Structure formats: structure tokens, C-alpha cells
Amino acid sequence: EKISVAVAANFISAFKEIAADFETKTGVKVEATFSSTGNLYNQIKNGAPYDMFLSADEQRPDRLQKEAWTEGTFIYARGQAILWSANKDFCKAATWQDALKSNQIKKIAIANPVTAPYGAAAKAALQKAGLWDALQSKVVNAQDIAQSFQYATTSAVDAGFCARSATVSPQAASGCFYNVPEAPDIVQAACIAKNAKNKKGAELFAAFLSSEHAVQIKAKYGYR
Amino acid sequence: MTISASIKRRLKYYDLDLSFTCATNKMMVMIGPSGGGKTTIIRMLAGLEKPDEGQVIFGDEVWFDSERRINITPQKRRLGYVFQDYNLFPHLNLLDNAAFAAVEKKEVDDLFELLKISHLKKRRPHMVSGGERQRCAICQALARHPRLLLLDEPFSALDVVTRRGLREELKSLKGRLSCPIIYVTHDIHEALFLADEILPVVDGKIDRGWMQRTITREPGEAVQAKGAREPRLSLVY
Amino acid sequence: MTISASIKRRLKYYDLDLSFTCATNKMMVMIGPSGGGKTTIIRMLAGLEKPDEGQVIFGDEVWFDSERRINITPQKRRLGYVFQDYNLFPHLNLLDNAAFAAVEKKEVDDLFELLKISHLKKRRPHMVSGGERQRCAICQALARHPRLLLLDEPFSALDVVTRRGLREELKSLKGRLSCPIIYVTHDIHEALFLADEILPVVDGKIDRGWMQRTITREPGEAVQAKGAREPRLSLVY
Amino acid sequence: MDYLALYVTLKLAFVTTVFLMVIAAPIAYLLAYYHFPGKSLLEALVYLPMALPPTVIGFYLIIVMSPKGFVGQVWGSLTGGSLLFTFLGITIASIIYSIPFAVQPMKAAFSKIDRRLLENAYILGLSKRAAFLRVIIPNSVAGIAAAAVLVFLHSIGAFGVLLMVGGSIPGETKVASIAIYEAVETMNYSAAGMLALSFIPISYAFLLLINKLNRDSLS
Amino acid sequence: MDYLALYVTLKLAFVTTVFLMVIAAPIAYLLAYYHFPGKSLLEALVYLPMALPPTVIGFYLIIVMSPKGFVGQVWGSLTGGSLLFTFLGITIASIIYSIPFAVQPMKAAFSKIDRRLLENAYILGLSKRAAFLRVIIPNSVAGIAAAAVLVFLHSIGAFGVLLMVGGSIPGETKVASIAIYEAVETMNYSAAGMLALSFIPISYAFLLLINKLNRDSLS
Ligand SMILES: Nc1ncnc2c1ncn2[C@@H]1O[C@H](COP(=O)(O)OP(=O)(O)OP(=O)(O)O)[C@@H](O)[C@H]1O
Ligand SMILES: Nc1ncnc2c1ncn2[C@@H]1O[C@H](COP(=O)(O)OP(=O)(O)OP(=O)(O)O)[C@@H](O)[C@H]1O
Ligand SMILES: [Mg+2]
Ligand SMILES: [Mg+2]
């Protein structure tokens, strides 16, 4: 018995751990496809045989509901944006806003706000802080949130808006970060296909996602 | 079968304009100054180039007729053509080259024997001498059992002895091949020895006086005046 | 300057092994059966191939010495070489081909005049006849002011008249060029007319009797026996 | 290391190369030897997959290959199955993705064939088709080898397109480059590096093979 | 439509093509004419950028080009500027990304040159270098054209690498393929289609140009 799940790329690490746990507990194999949310959505619209879809936003599961691919959506994780730098001096300022105002900062990475929910959240935070226009010339767009972190860890940029989940990785230890409470939570919704091959298995997994065990794993990777 | 052609073609410095006929078992030798149009005529007979006007008729087949807009492809003409610059296929050895379109593969061995290149069968064209390549090209053309044989200076890279031998072979082959043969050469002895008819082509036209002017001392123009100073040939049969 | 060579080279069916010398203003004519090794010798003089053993010495320069492991590149030998299969550059027209390595571009026009291909200057090699290509290759070699001239059947695609004319020109050029000339031909008249020395090469060795056997009726072997049946040449000066 | 993904990658690259050689040769021949109205336009179309970002090609392929799309419908009515998310599906995608790399070097090689060789072939009675097979192809080995190298390696690296059309099903459509993508996304850079490095011996072995075939055919 | 992105794309493709023709020619020559130990390994290395997924190439490029990376440091100490996120940076990335497409067809063309032409060139006193420039190059026009077409179109389609190294800065490093990607991701399919279609006339015009150059050099 197995289920096939389409998973937004930012959730890979947490998902792999949860799925492994789920497999040992239930014996149901989990086959995952990781890609960008937009890509997965396109596949599903064109008949991809996924039982379940873990999106990086709310918008696409909602659409799928409207398009009658699924009967209902649910939220499985809330991500948070943080501001990470490879340079530990960066975090000596009182707030992330002050840190960004420094002349030392030449380039700041954010995920593409047009395509990535984390990018949109970072942009919202910068706007709220009144820094968006001032920092325009320093902003570098990454394809997704993982790439934004790559820029930051390789010192390609002086600081980057990343996912909280990134702070768990070994690379993160060499740098420092600010929380960015001004950035809205990234609400990640999921849904199960109406015509799933293994609907039971998928429902079982959906339930498992909010089990205590899974919540712990999610917390470890910075999701709430 | 008889090949008869009557062709016109505008070239840059003169116009080709001539007619001729050659019957089965006959050999017509084309001779004349370099650049006179011999290769071009041969190519038109082969169907590789189109005359501007005229006909090429082989037996009862019309190969080319400018008025009736007939132009048979080279493939359908089924002829043998030894190119002036022996176009062997570089990716094949001499044997495979000769057997490329052979009617009977066994014959190729005999032809190699006849042309004295049996020992070179496995070599690629770039690994043999100019004269050896030329002899292979002749095998290739003959092995096809052509209905018309076109030979454009086929022996030009051969020494006198080999050449004489092959010339003899060709003459005796003429009867067996039972097809018309058109032969281009610059060697007057060869022409006299082989030809049933000699066709001197000068600037695209037939010029019956050319041979005479060339062999004898008659000083036509500067070049010949010079040529006359060299030892003269006299033909002793 | 004098070129002197003494070379050995193992080939598949025989071994090349000969020595010769040719002085400035002298012309040495190589003649002999097809596949006998003439082109290979020329290529070794040009530095395109390496003898297994021996020396090639030009004046006081050592071009090749197997013992001292000397082998000067073709570039440094500064010679003119007309290849048997006229290697003109297909991307250039005849004029540009001839001027490719010319010492003085102006001279090229005169050479074209001399060889009677002035009207073809702007044509690419594939647009002219075989004999015309050959004459362009001669211009190319001469325009370089070579220190040694190697001509591998340079007139093989030319008609008798043009050939006689050019032969004359070459003979008179010999004095002006002031370099040794080595000339390969299959034409015995040409050899006799041009040569200061004749070098008959048979199966890689010098065979002084070859000319005699070929010209006279003396029936040496089958080929010649056949050859003897054709009109004999007698030389009348 | 993900050996299954590596296996799928090699299988895909191999199948793509073989099929593409057969498909591209006639197209290259057409482009090299014939003149017809709209030829340049056809050529531009053939090369288009190269100019488009892989995700875009993938996007359009999904649309035509989905059960509702034109190709998907035809395929479905013939076999009852689906093309998307199968090995066959990614093979087709990979072929389309790599077509330009096969056609262009072959065209260059074909157009360099000495015209006189073709003339001799026609004289010897070969039809255009036979001349193509017996003269043009064997004398274009270097160009065909170039095409094979480009296609093979390009299929190994193909990723954007395959991820979209294939959906990363282990053993079926999950290729090594997708595994690398996942490793990079999870910031597991050392695993990504390992997998990437494993491409060197593969490319190397393939190049050795092609070079050897190329040399054999020449000597 | 995003004209600025289209402009950057064309500029990039053009600059990449010009530079790569100059860089790839000697490499192709080396591979076609010389034998030396490790040659196949060098060849495999040259072709590696093709076999690697763009994101991986991009990743390694970031590492070497970042201010702390080797190349980035040298560049920084020379000019005081940064390579990443500049037009120069994506040009370098694009050149590395497309090297195999330039080298392979050129190598095939060079190795098909009739040896006798080279021999004649040497006899006429040309050094190997001069023979390369005056004989090999002009007789390889078809192969060079093939290389130019491949490189140009491939640079237009390059996207994964450029996105990483360039950071999608409008007017500087945001190329059209990134705009298409954004449009597809945001489900703005008509805009994506429009941009993708705009590549057809561009590729078409470029092909016409190359074909014309190719023909002129032959006639
Ligand atoms: N492909 C071509 N296009 C245009 N003109 C050509 C072409 N080939 C040859 N010519 C020209 O046509 C004329 C006849 O050439 P052709 O090759 O028929 O002469 P030929 O009699 O065979 O000479 P040769 O004895 O030197 O081989 C020459 O003036 C030549 O320059
Ligand atoms: N590249 C090569 N590799 C090996 N053997 C060769 C090569 N070229 C020629 N040969 C062989 O070497 C011998 C001498 O050839 P060469 O070309 O020197 O003869 P040649 O005297 O010039 O003949 P021809 O008068 O026919 O031009 C022949 O047996 C030939 O088959
Ligand atoms: Mg001719
Ligand atoms: Mg020879």
C-alpha cells in the first residue's frame, strides 16, 4: 500500500522525517514529488495522479477546491520568515530594521515575491518597516526561499530573508539571524484528491500531520 | 545501342555547341585544349549538368530533350563514369569502393587482377598512390555493367608501361562490353591507338583541324610555335 | 644550393632506398611505374613524411637526419610543392589561392598571364577545369619564391599544346628561379625535354635501365610485350 | 547515493540518444540539402526548444500530453494509459527538449559532404535515400558523434522539463538531476556535490565510447 | 510584455555568442588535432556544464563568484566591485553554461578538414596558428555557424543558472526566461505564452542571419 504526495519544496526536510515515521507506524509507503508549488499545481491541473498536495500557500489548494479536484483543504504548517546573515556582526544591532539600514549592507536576498510566498511575506515586512523603497537597489531576487538561503550562506549577499526552517540546517550555525515578527505567517495548506487512488491512506496521513509526533518534527524545522 | 547528343550551353568565355554520335562497341575519343569543355560535355551526358538546349538520346530512350522538358536522372541512365579527379569514397577501402554498385561481386576480383591492384584491396583511397586510385575508379565503373562508359582522363596518373598495358586491355574490353565508350585524353598516341572516332573539342566546338595542327609543325599561334621547337613525334607503326 | 638526399623507408610491398643529388638551376626528373614511390619521396623532401633512415641536406642546412634526430618542419624548408592532386583552398578564388603565400602580390598577375588563366582569377577552384586548377597550383608554388621546387605531375591534366608551351616556359624559368627543381612525370618526352638528370624510380629503387626498356621494344615482361605492339615512339630532334 | 535515480537517468539518456539520432538525421538532411518556402521557419521551430526555458517547455508539454491534451487524448484512446508521469512520457519530453542539439551538428556535417561524392553515388545508381544512408551518413560520423555527445549529456542534465512532465516517481521518472535538486533545496550541499561529481565518470565513459567509435570509423 | 527583460536577453545572448566563439575555437582545435594524456578527461570537463542541472552549475558559480569565493576575491581586489548580480556576472555564467555547445560542433568541423589542405598550408610556410586562422577557420564555417546558433539560442533559454547568479534585477540581470517563469508560476498563462511566442521571431531572425553568413562564405 502506498500514497503519492506532491510537496512544496520548502517542506522537504520536515516532510521526509514525518513520512519516514508514518511509514514505520502504519506500513503505508509514501511516495513524494518535490517541486515548486506553481509547478505542482500545473501538474495536478493536467491530471497528475497525486493523492495529496501539500502546498506552500493557501491560494492554490483553494483553487483546486473551486476546480473540484478536492473536497476540502486544511492547514498543515505555518512558516515564518527570518533574516539570516553569515556575518555574526550583523546581529549586533538592536533590531533587524537597524541592521539593514547599515552602510555595510550592500545586497539583501529575498525570494521572488511574485512567485514565492516567503518572498511576499518578506516584502510585506519591509514595507511595514518603511524600508522597501529605500532598499530597492540592494534587493536581489532568489527563485525560492532555499535559494535565498544559499545566497546568504555563500556570502553572495550580506543578509537574506529565509525560512525559519533553514536555521535548523548545519550551515546555519555559522551565522546569526533575527526573527521578523512583522512578516505575516506563511500559511501552508494541503488537500486530498477527490479521486485519489488511496484515499484512505491519504486521510490517514493528513491526520498524522497534526499528530503530536508530527507537530514536534514540524517545530524542530521551524514550522508551527 | 547508340548514344547521340546535340547540345548547346552558354559558358562564360565561349558557348558549347556540338553534336556527335557513338555506337555500341565503338570508342569515341575526345581531345582538345585544357578548359575546352570536355568534362562539361561528359557531365551533361551523365545527367549531372543540363544543357541549355538540345537532345541526348540513347538507343530509343530520350535522356534529355530541352523542348520536351525531359531530363532523366543519372541513376536511371545506368552508365559508368570515371571522373577526372577520381571520386572514390573515402570511408571505404578499394575493394568496397569497386564493389559499391557491382552487378556481381566476384567480377570485382578479376577487375582488380586485370588492373594490377589486387594487393591493395584493403587500403583506403588516401593510402594508395594517384595511379592506384585511378585504376580503382575504373574497376568501380566497369563492375556496374554500364550501358555507356564515360572515361575522363582515366590514365592520366599512370606511367607509360602500365598505361600501355591498360590501353590494350581497354581496347580488347571494348568488344566484350558492348556499349559505347567515350574517352577523354590529352595523349595523342592514346587517342590514335584507341579511337574509332576522334572528336577534337576546342572552345566548345568540334574543330577537325586541331589534331593536325598539333602534331605537325604547322605554326598556328605562339604556343604552337614554341611547341614546335621540341622534339617532334613521328608515328611509326 | 644543392639538395641531396639519401633515404630509406619500409613500405608494405617493397622498401624505398635511394640517394640522389640535384643542384641549383638543374632539373631532376623522376619517372617510373605507378605506385613506385615517387610521391612518397617528394613528400619526404617536403618534410610531410619522415624517412625511417637517412639524411636530407639542402646546401649547408640539414633538413633531416635520422641519427642526429633532426627533422625540420615543412614551414622552415621554404619550398614550392605542386601536389599531384592540386590541393587548392576551396574557400578562396584562384587569385587568392595563388597569392596565398606570395612574396610579391604583383608577380601573381604575371604568373597568371604566363599560365593563361588570367580570365579565371575570380573563380573558385571547383568552378574551373582540371587543367586550370593545376596551373593555378603552379602559380601558387612559384609565387612563394621557393628555395626548392617540387612538381608532382604538374601538367598531367593539360592538353599537348598547353603542355608543350608550359614545358618551354618551365625550361626557361629554370635559369631565373635559381633553385633545384624536382619534377615527376609519366611523359617520357617531357622527361627527355626537361631533364638535366633523369631518375627512374621502380619499386622504391633507382633503376637506370627502366627508360631504355620502356622506350625500346625490348620485351622485358608481359606488360611491355603488349606495350610493344602499339606504335613505337621514335624521337626526332 | 540514489542509485535508482542514476539508473533511470542513464536509461533515459541512452534511449533518448538512440531515438533522436534516428529522428534527427532526416530532418538535418532536409535542412542541409533542400530549399523550400518556409524552410527557415521550420528550422527556427526545430531550434525553439533550446531557446525556451525548460520550465516553459515542460509547461506546454504537460498541456499537450495531459489526458485532455491533444497528444494525451490520442495516446489514451490507443492504449488506455496516460503519457504523463511515465518513463515514456519523460522520454518524449527529453527527445523534444534535445532535438536542436541533434539536428544542428548533423546538418553542419551533412552540408560539408563533398558534392562530388554524391554525384558519383548517383552515377552508380543510388537513389537519394540510398546515397544518404551509404554515403552521407558514413562520411558524417564526426558530426553524428558530436550530436550524440550533446544529446546524451544534455539529457543527463535535463531536469526542469522532466520534473514537470515526470513528477519524480522513483524508478520510473525520478532522474539523478531531480535528486540533486532536492539535495540543494534541503541545503544538503555535500550530497548534491557527490551526485554532481558522479556525473563526471559517466560523461567521461560516454565520451570515451563515442571517441572510440568515431576513431574506428575513420581508420 | 516585459521589453526590458527581452532586451537584456538579447544583449546577453549576443555578447555570449561573440565571446564564446573566440574562446571555444582554440579549445576545439586542441581537442580535434592534439593527443595528450588526459585529453578525454579535459573533454569530459569541458562538456560537464551540459550534463549538470542548471541549479547545480549556478550553485557552484555562486560559490566561486561570491566576494569570498576565489574568482570573486580576485575580481574584488582588482575592481572593487562584485561579479554576482551584475550583467558581467551572468555573462560569465552564460559562457560557462554554453561552452559545450560551442566546442562540440567546432571540434567536429575542424576534424573534418581535409588533411591535404593543411599540408599545403604548412608547405606554404604557415605556422600552425596561421593555418588555423587562414585555412581551418574559413573551411569550418558551417560548423562555426552551428555552434553560434546553438550558443545563441541556448543563452536565450538559459534560466536556472542566470536566475541564481543574476538575482533577477530588472534591466541588469532579469532576462526574458525569468519573466516567463514568473508568469507561469503565477498562473498568468497568456503572458507566458506571449513571451514564449516572441522567441520565435527572434530565433528566426538570428537563424536567417547565420544562414546568410554561412551561404555568403560558401559562394
Ligand atoms: N562548375 C563550373 N562552373 C562554371 N564554369 C565551369 C565549371 N567547371 C568548369 N567551368 C569552366 O568551363 C570551361 C570548360 O571546363 P571543362 O572542365 O569542361 O574543361 P575540360 O575540357 O575538361 O578541361 P581540362 O582538360 O583542363 O580538364 C572552362 O572555361 C572552365 O573554367
Ligand atoms: N598514405 C599511405 N600510406 C601507406 N601506403 C601508401 C600511402 N600512400 C601511398 N602508399 C603506397 O606506397 C607506394 C608508393 O606510393 P606513391 O604514391 O609514392 O607512388 P607514386 O610513384 O607516386 O605512384 P603514382 O605514379 O601512381 O602517383 C604504393 O604502393 C602505395 O600504395
Ligand atoms: Mg576536364
Ligand atoms: Mg604519385
Which of A123-137, B188-202, B210-224 bottoms out in mean pLDDT, i.e. has the lowest? Answer: B210-224
Grid coordinates representing C132 are 586550370
A122-131 contacts, C-beta under 8 A, 24 or more apart: A122/A81, A122/A161, A122/A180, A122/A183, A124/A182, A124/A183, A124/A184, A125/A81, A125/A161, A125/A180, A125/A182, A125/A183, A125/A184, A128/A182, A129/A97, A129/A182, A131/A97, A131/A100, A131/A101
Check whether B232 has a pLDDT greater than 60: no
Beta bridge partners of A140: A109
Using the 3D structure, point to which of B124, B145, B166 is the last residue of a domain. B145
Cell numbers that stand for B60 in this block: 530509343
Is residue B221 over pLDDT 60?
no
For D108, the closest of E54, E146, E202 (CB atoms) is E146
Rounded-to-integer distance, Cα E134 and Cα C89, Å: 10
| Angle at CA of residue B9, ends B3 and B10, nearest 5° | 165
pLDDT at C219: 46
The residues on A that touch E, with CB distances below 8 Å, are: 36, 38-39, 41-42, 106-107, 109, 112, 114-115, 140-143, 147, 150-151, 154-156
> Cα torsion at C84, C90, C92, C93 (round to 10°)?
70
Q: How far is CA C233 from CA B83, C83, C229, in A?
A: 29, 29, 11
Q: For D72-103, what is each residue's pLDDT tens digit?
A: 888 888 888 778 788 898 899 999 989 988 99
Q: Provide the sign of the torsion angle of the four alpha carbons E150, E156, E162, E166, taken in this order.
A: positive
Cβ-in-10-Å burial (0-12, 13-18, 19+) of C185 comes to: buried
Query: What CATH number does residue D119 fall under?
Result: 1.10.3720.10
Q: Largest Cα–Cα distance of chain E, in whole Å?
A: 65
**Among C39, C36, C65, C61, which residue's Cα sits nearest to residue C50?**
C65
pLDDT band for B216, please (50, 70, 90 cuts).
Answer: low
Give the C-alpha separation, E82 to A138, whole Å: 13
Average pLDDT over residues B150-174: 87
Residue of C nearest to E128 (CA): C75
Compute, in angstroms, the gap from residue C88 CA to the centroid of ligand 4.
17
CB contact under 8 A, A107 and E85: yes
pLDDT tier, E218 (very low <50, low <70, confident <90, very high otherwise): low
Assign D217 a pLDDT band (cuts: 50, 70, 90): low
Name the neighbours of D, counting chains with at least 3 Cβ pairs within 8 A.
A, B, E
The pLDDT score that the predictor gives to residue C15 is 94
Backbone torsions φ then ψ of D110, nearest 5 degrees:
-60, -40
C-alpha cell at D122: 548517383
Distance from the alpha carbon of residue B37 to the mean position of ligand 1, in angstroms: 6
Residues C66 and C137 in one domain: no
As a whole number, mean pLDDT of residues D174-199 equals 76
The Cβ of residue D80 has, within 10 Å, a number of other Cβ atoms equal to 7
Which helix H or strand E contains E46, and what residues bound it? Answer: helix E39-51
Widest CA span in chain C: 53
Looking at the structure, tell me whether residues C6 and C64 fall in a common domain. yes
Over chain C, what HEC string results?
CEEEEEEEEECCCCEEEEEEEEECCCEEEEECCCCCCHHHHHHHHHCCCCCCEEEEEECCEEEEECCCCEECCHHHHCCEEECCCCCCCCCCCHHHHHCCCCCCHHHHHHHHHHHCCHHHCCCCHHHCCHHHHHHHHHHHHHCCCCCCEEEECCCCCCCHHHHHHHHHHHHHHHHHHCCCEEEECCCHHHHHHHCCEEEEEECCEECCCHHHHHHCCCCCCHHHHHHCCCCEEEEEC
Phi, psi (5° rounding) for residue C23? Answer: -95, 165
Compare all CA atoms of chain A with the CA of D84 and give the residue at the minimum distance.
A48
The reply to whether residue E200 touches residue D101, judged by beta carbons under 8 angstroms, is no
Q: What are phi and psi of B105, to 5 degrees?
A: -60, -30
Burial class (CB in 10 A: 0-12, 13-18, 19+), D119: buried
Closest to D90 (Cα-Cα) out of D3, D185, D183, D169 = D169
pLDDT band for position B225 (50/70/90)? very low
Q: Give the span between the Cα atoms of E195 and D56, in whole angstroms.
A: 10
DSSP annotation of A184 reads: P
The whole-angstrom distance between C105's CA and the closest CA on chain E is: 15
Assess whether B7 and B23 both reside in one domain: yes
pLDDT score at B19: 95
A153-170: pLDDT as tens digits: 888 888 999 988 888 888
Pocket test for ligand 1, best of B40, B42, B184, B199 (most atoms within 8 A of CB): B40
DSSP state of B198: E
List, chain by chain if needed, residues with CB within 6 Å of any ligand 1 atom: B 11, 13, 34-40, 84; C 120, 127-132, 157
User: Measuring from atom 31 of ligand 2, which residue has the nearest CA?
Assistant: B128
| Least confident among B15-29, B213-227, D24-38, D165-179 | B213-227
Residue type, B31: I
Count Cβ atoms below 10 Å from residue B155 Cβ, excluding itself.
26
Last residue of a domain, one of C96, C130, C145: C145
Of residues C48, C78, C87, nearest to E117 (C-beta):
C87
- Asked if B44 and B56 sit in the same domain, the reply is yes
Cell 581586489 belongs to E77
pLDDT greater than 50 at residue B220: no
Return the C-alpha torsion angle D45, D46, D52, D53, nearest 10: 160
Q: Which residue's CA is the nearest one to ligand 1's atom 10?
A: C128
Please report which ligand is nearest the Cα atom of C204: 2
pLDDT confidence of C16, banded at 50, 70, 90?
very high
Give how far B202 is from chain C: nearest CA, Å.
11
Rounded to a whole number, what is the distance in Å from the CA of C60 to chain B's nearest CA? 32
Q: How confident is the model at residue C224 (pLDDT cuts 50, 70, 90)?
A: very low
Question: For the domain that residue C10 is a member of, what is the CATH number?
Answer: 3.40.50.300
The cell for B25 is 562497341
C143 close contact with B: CB closer than 8 A: no
Q: Which H, E and C letters describe chain D, residue by residue?
A: CCHHHHHHHHHHHHHHHHHHHHHHHHHHHHHHHCCCCCHHHHHHHHHHHHHCCHHHHHHHHHHHHCCCCHHHHHHHHHHCCCCCCCHHHHHHHHHHHHHHHHHHHHHHHHHCCCHHHHHHHHHCCCCHHHHHHHHHCHHHHHHHHHHHHHHHHHHHHCCHHHHHHHCCCCCCCCCHHHHHHHHHHCCCHHHHHHHHHHHHHHHHHHHHHHHHHHHHHHC
Query: Does residue E84 carry a pLDDT above 50?
Result: yes
Q: Are the C-beta atoms of D12 and D20 separated by less than 8 Å? A: no
- Please indicate whether chains C and A are in contact, defined as at least 3 beta carbon pairs under 8 Å: no
Interface test with C, best of B158, B186, B202 (most C CBs within 10 A): B186
**The three cell numbers locating residue A153:** 550562506
Q: Is E47 on the interface with A (CB under 8 A)?
A: no
Q: Pocket residues for ligand 2 (CB within 6 Å)?
A: B 120, 127-132, 157; C 11, 13, 34-40, 84
> Which range marks the domain in which residue E150 is found?
3-218
Cα of A109 to nearest chain E Cα, Å: 8
User: Within this chain, do residues B59 and B97 fall inside the same structural domain, yes or no?
Assistant: no
Query: What are the helix and strand counts (H, E) for chain B?
Result: 9, 12
Q: B87 and B68 in one domain?
A: no
The total number of structural domains that make up chain E: 1
Yes or no: say if B167 and B77 are a contact pair by the CB < 8 Å rule: no
Cα distances from D9 to residues B4, C116, D93, D155, in angstroms, run: 64, 65, 13, 8
Residues B141 and B154 occupy one common structural domain: no
From B39, B83, B150, B188, the mutation candidate for ligand 1 (largest count of ligand atoms within 8 A of CB) is: B39
Read off the pLDDT of each residue in B147-153 and give the average, rounded to a whole number.
93
Residues C151 and C75 in one domain: yes
Which of A3, A33, A165 is the best mutation test for D, with the most CBs of D within 10 A? A33
pTM for the model = 0.84
Domain end call among C145, C173, C191 = C145
Same domain as C163, residue C67: yes
Check residues A67 and A46 and name the one with the higher pLDDT: A67
Q: Which element (helix H / strand E) includes E124? A: none
Cell numbers 521551524 correspond to: A222
Looking up cell 494525451, which residue turns up? D72
Give which of B66, B62, B41 is closest to B53, Cα–Cα: B66
The H or E element that residue E209 is part of is helix E189-218
pLDDT digits (tens, 9 = 90+) for C149-158: 999 999 888 8
- Residues ≥6 apart with Cβ < 8 Å to A15: A5, A7, A32, A34, A54
Same domain for B115 and B17: no
CA B80 to CA B150: how far, in whole Å? Answer: 6
Residue that has been written with the C-alpha cell 548517383 in this structure: D122
Q: Hey, whose CA ends up nearest to atom 28 of ligand 2? A: C35
Q: Are E159 and E175 in contact (CB under 8 A)?
A: yes
Q: In this structure, what C-alpha cell is assigned to residue D178?
A: 531531480
- Round to whole Å and give the CA distance between B168 and A133: 97
Pairwise CA distance, residues B92 & B82, whole Å? 17
Q: Is D187 part of the contact surface with chain A (CB cutoff 8 Å)?
A: yes
Instruction: Find the C158 Cα to ligand 3 centroid distance in Å.
Output: 9
Q: What is the pLDDT of residue E1?
A: 59
Task: Say what percent of chain B tops pLDDT 70.
Answer: 90
Does D160 contact E157 at a Cβ distance shorter than 8 Å?
no
Range of the domain at C119: 83-145
Q: Which residues surround ligand 3, an ion (CB under 5 A)?
A: B 39, 84; C 129-130
> Structural domain tally of chain B?
2
Interval C169-191: pLDDT, tens: 888 888 888 899 999 998 888 88
β-strand partners of A53: A6, A191
C-alpha cell at D57: 517547455
End-to-end CA distance of chain E: 41
- Residue in chain B closest to C126 (alpha carbons) equals B85
What value does the mean pLDDT of chain D take?
84
C13 pLDDT more than 90: no
Domain co-membership, B54 together with B153: yes
**Least CA distance to D170: which residue of chain A?**
A31
Q: Which three cell numbers stand for residue E35?
A: 593527443
Contact C49, C8 (CB under 8 A): no
Give, in degrees to the nearest 5, the angle at Cα E47 between E43 and E53: 155
Q: Which of E85, E174, E178, E188 to mutate to test the interface with A (most CBs of A within 10 A)?
A: E85
pLDDT grade, residue C218 (50/70/90)?
Answer: very low
> Does the structure show a pLDDT above 50 at B175?
yes
Q: pLDDT per residue over A177-217, tens digit each?
A: 999 999 999 999 999 999 888 999 999 999 999 999 999 99
Q: Lowest-confidence range among B41-50, C18-27, E73-82? A: E73-82
